[in-house]
Structure 1
Amino acid sequence: MPDKRSAGRPEFKEALKFWFKLGWISFGGTAGHIAIMHDFLVDKKKWISNSRFFHALSICMLLPGPEAQQLAIYIGKQLHGRKGGLVAGALFVLPSMFILLGLSIIYVSYGNLPWIYAMFNGLKPAVIAIIIGALFKVGQKSLQSALHYVAAGIAFVCIFFFNISLLTIIMATILLAIGIRYVFPRVLKADAEQDEQLSVNEQEYFINKFSVAENHQFELKQLLLQLLVFLLLWLLPFTFFYLFCPDFFFWKTLILFFTQTAFFTIGGSYTVLPYVAQFAVSKLNWLSKLQMVDGFALAETTPGPLIIVVGFVGFMAGFNHFHASIAMGSIALFATIFYTFLPCFLYVFAGGPLIEKSHGSEVVSQILKLVTAAVVGVILNLTLFLGKDVVFPGGLSWEHLDVLSLIWIVISLVLMQRFKLNVVYLIVLSLGLGLVRFVLKV
C-alpha cells in the first residue's frame, strides 16, 4: 500500500484554534474529550483516520495519567511536530486550571453559596448527556463484532458489580485477546477482515494507516535528550521552592507525591483519583473528606480532564497549611498541575516511535481493538455511576427521582444529537436552568 497521504496537512493556525477551543469546551471527562476530538479530527476535518485515532487511544490508555490529554499530545505532534504536541497538551489543561483556580478561590472565600451551588447542579444533567452521547459515539466506532460486545459486557460487569479496577480490566482484556488469538485465531481474523472493509477510505485522511510519521525511528540519543529536558523542567520549580518559599518540607512532600502519582497510577483519572483522595485526606491531612467531595463537584463543572481535581487538592493543601492563604493555595495549585501533567509529554514524546512501530502489527492491532471495546463497558459504568446521583440525588428509589434533571438529560441529548447544538451553548443553558430552579424553588 502507498505511504503518501492524499489529504493535505492542516495549517498550524487552524489546529491551534481547535486545541484552544477544545480546552474550553471539553466537558464530560474522558468520554466527552474523546467524543469532541473524534467528531472534529476524524469526522469533520479528516486529519486522522478512525483506525489511527483508536489505536493511539488504546496505547494511551496503557500509560499513567490522563489518556485524553496524551491522545491530544500525540495527534498534535503527528500534525505539526514537537510544537504541535506541546500546544495541544498545554491548551488541553490550561483553561480548566484557571477556571478551577477561580472556583477554588470562590469556594474558600464565600463557602457554598446556595445560588452558585444551584447553577452547578443545573449543569450536571448536561454533563451526563455529554457522556451518554460519547458512549454511543465510541461504541459505534469500536464495537465491530460480537466479540467486541462480549468484551464490553464483561468489562461493565467487572467494574459495576465487582468494583474491579480499570487497570486490572485492561490487563485481563490483553490476556484474553492473546488467548483467543492462539486458541480461536479465526475469531480475530474475521474481525480484522471486517475492520479492513471499514477502512477502505484511509487515504482520505492526512494521518492514516499507511502513513509514516517523521522521526519515527527509536534513537537512544534523542531519548536521553528528552529525559534531560524533563529532568531540568522538573528541577526548576523544585529549586525555586527550596530557595524562596517557606516550609520547604511541605513543598517537597507535595511535589514528590504528585510526581509519584503521575508516574505510577495507570488507568486514567478513575484510578488516580481514589489514590489521591485516600492519601491526601487520610495520610497527609491536607483537606477533609467533605472538601474532597466538593472538589469532585467543582472539577465536574470545568472543562478538561477530571484529574484536574488534583489542582483543587493542591490548592486546599496550601490554603490550609499556610493558615488560609489564598496566595499559597494558588501557588500549590499551579505546582500540583505542573507536576501531574508534565510526565504526559515525556510519555508521548519518548514513546512516539513505539506507538508508530506498533501500528503496523496485526497482533497489537487486534489486542488494542479488544481493549477499546472493553473501554465502552467502562464508560457505561461511568455513565451509571455519575448519572444515578444526578437523577436520584437522595438515593435509588422512585420517591427520590429528580424528574427535571431526567428531562433535561433527555432534552440535552436531543439538542446535541438531533440539532447539533454547540456544547458551549448547552452549558450556558444548563447553568441558567439551575439558577431558574433555585429562584422558583423547584
Structure 2
Amino acid sequence: MQTQKNKLKEVAQVFFKLGFFAFGGPAAHIAMMEEEIVAKRKWMTRNYFLDMIGATNLIPGPNSTEMTMHCGYERAGRKGLFVAGICFIFPAIIITGLLAYLYVKYGELPEVKPFIIGIKPAVLAIIASAIIKLSKKAIKSTELAVLGVLVLVVSLLGVNEVLALLLAGIFGMGYFYLKERIQNKTLSISPILLSLVVSETVVKLSSLKVFLMFLKVGAILYGSGYVLFAYLDAELVSRGWLTRPELIDAIAVGQFTPGPVLSTSTFIGYQLSGFPGAIAATTGIFLPSFLFVLILNPFISRMRQSKILRHFLDAVNVAAVAVMLSVLVVMTIDTIVDWRTILIAILCSYLTFGTKISTMWIIAIGSVLGYLLLLF
C-alpha cells in the first residue's frame, strides 16, 4: 500500500507531465486525464470521473484545471488537490512567462503555426476516444440518450454550455424523480436540496491591483477562452491598460501553449507590472478554482447517496458528454481544412483506437507531422 508521500509524488508526476502535453482546450485535457487517471492508473471508476466532470461544469473557473484538482484530492487528499493543480499549471506558466519576456523585449511572438497544425488533428482523435468511453457509462437509459441529443443540438446552436448543463440536470432530476414515484406509487416527499458551493501603451499597475482584477475574473469566469477574451477586454482594453492587438497576442499565447488557456494571465500580468505582475495575475485567476474545488469535492459522493440528486448528476453527466461532442464537431470543422490535416487526423485516429500508444506520444507525433508536412 502506497504511503501519503508516494501518492503525492505520483500525483505530481502525472499532472506535471500532463501540463507539458495538454494541448487542445478543456475537452482534450479531460480526455487525456481519463486515459491517465481512469484507464491507466485506475485511481477511480469511470462513473465517479463522470460525476466530477458534471459537478465541475457547474462552478466558475477552468474546468480541466479544476478536474486535475479533483483527481489530486481523490488520490492524496487536500494536499493532493494543491499538488495536482499547481503541477498542471506550472509548465504553462513558465512557458507563457518566457514568451511574455520575449514579447516585451522584441515585440513579436515566435512562429509555432507548423506545430499547432499537427497537434489539432491529433487532439480530435483523443477527444473522440474519451467521448466514446464516457458515453458508455453516462447513457444509462433511452431517456438519458434523448436528453444528451437535445443538449448536443442546443450546444451546436450556440446556447451557453453552463445553462444547457444546468437545465438538463434540473429537467432530468424532476423527470426521473416523478417517474420513480409513479412506478413505486408512493406519495412520500423527499426534500430537494441542491447547493453547489459554489507594448508602448501598456500601463504599469501595482501588483495588488493586478491580483485583485484577476481574482475577480477567476471567481466569475464561465466558459471558453473566447469568454475570457471578453472579460479581459472589458477589464483592460476599455480602461486603456492594454491595446486590443496586445490582448489578442496574449490570448494566442494561451491557445498555443500547453495547459489551461488561463495561463494568458501570466503573459498579461508581465506586460502590466513585470515579474511581480505575472505572479499576481496568475495567483489571482487560479486561486478561486482551488477554493471552489476544496469546498465542492466532499459533496460529490454525497450527491450520489441522495436519490433525487443522483438523477441530477446522471442528467448533467450525459449533458457534459454531449457538450464535449459539440466541441468535437466545432473543432473538426475548424481543424480539418486540407489534405495535411486529414492525413494527420486519420493516422492519429488509428494510433488512438488501434494501438496502446500514450496520448502524450500521439500529440508529439501529430506536432512533428504538422511541421514536416508543411514543408511540402
**TM-score, length-scaled by structure 2:** 0.82
Q: Which of 289, 299, 306 lines up with 1:344 in the alignment?
A: 289
Q: Distance in 1 between matches of 2:77 and 2:183?
A: 34
Residue in structure 2 matched with residue 81 of structure 1 by the alignment: 77
Identify which of 47, 52, 56 aligns with 1:51.
47
Aligned to 2:220: 264
How far, CA to CA, are the matches of 2:125 and 2:241 in structure 1? 33
Select 1:95's aligned residue among 88, 91, 98: 91
**Higher mean C-alpha displacement, 97-106 vs 337-346:** 97-106
Deviation readout 1:210-252 (Å, 9 max, x if unpaired)? xxxxxxxxxxxxx9xxxxxxxxxxxxxxxxxxxxxxx885544
Q: 1:352 to 1:432 in 2, by over 3 A?
A: closer
Q: In the TM superposition, what whole-angstrom CA distance separates every residue of 1:348-394 from its partner, at most 9, and x where no partner exists? A: 223343334323112112111111111222112222323322223xx
Which residue matches 1:361?
A: 306
Q: Which amino acid aligns with 1:261?
A: V
1:433 maps to which of 369, 372, 376? 369
CA–CA distance in structure 1, aligned partners of residues 108 and 75 of structure 2: 44
Counterpart of 2:255 in structure 1 is 300
- For the pair 1:166 / 2:134, whether they are aligned, the reply is no
Residue pair 1:280, 1:313 contacting (<8 A) in 2 also: no
Q: Which of 370, 381, 400 is 2:326 aligned to?
A: 381
Moved more, 402-411 or 45-54: 45-54
Code of the residue aligned with 1:309 in structure 2: it is T
Distance of aligned partners of 1:150 and 1:329 in 2 relative to their CA distance in 1, 3 Å threshold: farther
Going from structure 1 to structure 2, the CA distance change for 1:16 and 1:254 (only over 3 Å counts) comes to: closer
Q: Give how far 1:408 is off.
A: 0.8
Contact 1:314 1:336 in 2 (8 A): yes
Supply the AA of the counterpart residue of 2:296.
G
1:398 alignment partner in structure 2: none
Secondary structure (helix, strand or coil) at the match of 2:44 reads: coil
- Change over 3 Å in CA distance of 1:388–1:286 after alignment to 2: farther
Change in CA separation of 1:176 and 1:411 when aligned onto 2, cut-off 3 Å: same
CA contact (8 A) 2:221 2:228 kept: no
Contact 2:27 2:327 (C-alpha < 8 Å) held by counterparts? no
Distance in 1 (alpha carbons) for counterparts of 2:183 and 2:234? 42
Deviations 1:401-421 (A, max 9, x none): x12112211211111221232
CA distance in 2, matches of 1:60, 1:426: 27
Q: Kindly provide the CA deviation profile for residues 39-80 of structure 1, in whole angstroms up to 9, marking residues without a partner as x.
A: 232223222122222222222222111222223222322322
- Give the match for residue 20 of structure 2: 24
- Counterparts in 2 of 1:19 and 1:354: CA distance versus 1, 3 Å: same
C-alpha deviation, 1:271, in angstroms: 7.6
Worse-matched range after superposition: 91-100 or 42-51: 42-51
Retained in 1: the 8 A contact 2:53–2:320?
Answer: no
For the residues of structure 2 that align with 1:93 and 1:437, how far apart are their CA atoms?
31
Partner of 1:279: 234
Change (3 A) 1:178 1:83: closer
Give yes or no for contact 2:125–2:349 (8 Å, CA) kept in 1: yes
Is 1:144 aligned to 2:100, yes or no? no
Residues 1:57 and 1:351: Cα distance change in structure 2 (over 3 Å): same
Shift of 1:183: 3.8
User: Which string of whole-angstrom CA distances, capped at 9 and with x for unpartnered residues, describes residues 171-219 of structure 1?
Assistant: 2112211331344337999xxxxxxxxxxxxxxxxxxxxxxxxxxxxxx
Contact 2:119 2:370 in 1 (8 A): yes
**Counterpart residue number, 1:235:** none
CA shift in 2, pair 1:274/1:361, >3 Å: farther
Instruction: Give the SS at the match of 1:27.
Output: coil
The one-letter amino acid of 1:351's match is: L
Q: What is aligned with 1:39?
A: 35
The structure having more radius of gyration, on CA atoms, is: 1
Distance 1:376 1:288 in 2: 37
Give unmatched runs, 5+ long, in structure 2: 185-196, 198-202
Q: How far apart are the structure 2 equivalents of 1:51 and 1:187?
A: 27
1:330 shift after superposition: 4.2
The residue aligned with 1:176 is: 171
Instruction: Give 1:167's aligned amino acid.
Output: V
**Aligned mates of 1:431, 1:18 — CA distance in 2:** 21
Cα distance in 1 for residues equivalent to 2:54 and 2:69: 14
Aligned residue for 2:108? 111
Matched residue of 2:375: which SS?
Answer: helix
In 2, distance between residues paired with 1:170 and 1:421? Answer: 33
Question: 1:204-283 alignment to 2 at 5 Å?
Answer: 251-266=207-222, 268-269=223-224, 272-280=227-235, 282-283=237-238
Q: So what's the TM-score if we normalise by structure 1?
A: 0.71
Q: Is the 8 A contact 1:64 1:263 kept in 2?
A: yes
Q: 1:333 to 1:187 in 2, by over 3 A?
A: farther
The whole-number CA distance in structure 2 between the counterparts of 1:152 and 1:274 is 29
The number of equivalent residue pairs is: 357
Q: What residue in structure 1 maps to residue 63 of structure 2?
A: 67
Among 405, 408, 419, which residue is 2:341 paired with?
A: 405
Per the alignment, residue 314 of structure 1 pairs with 269
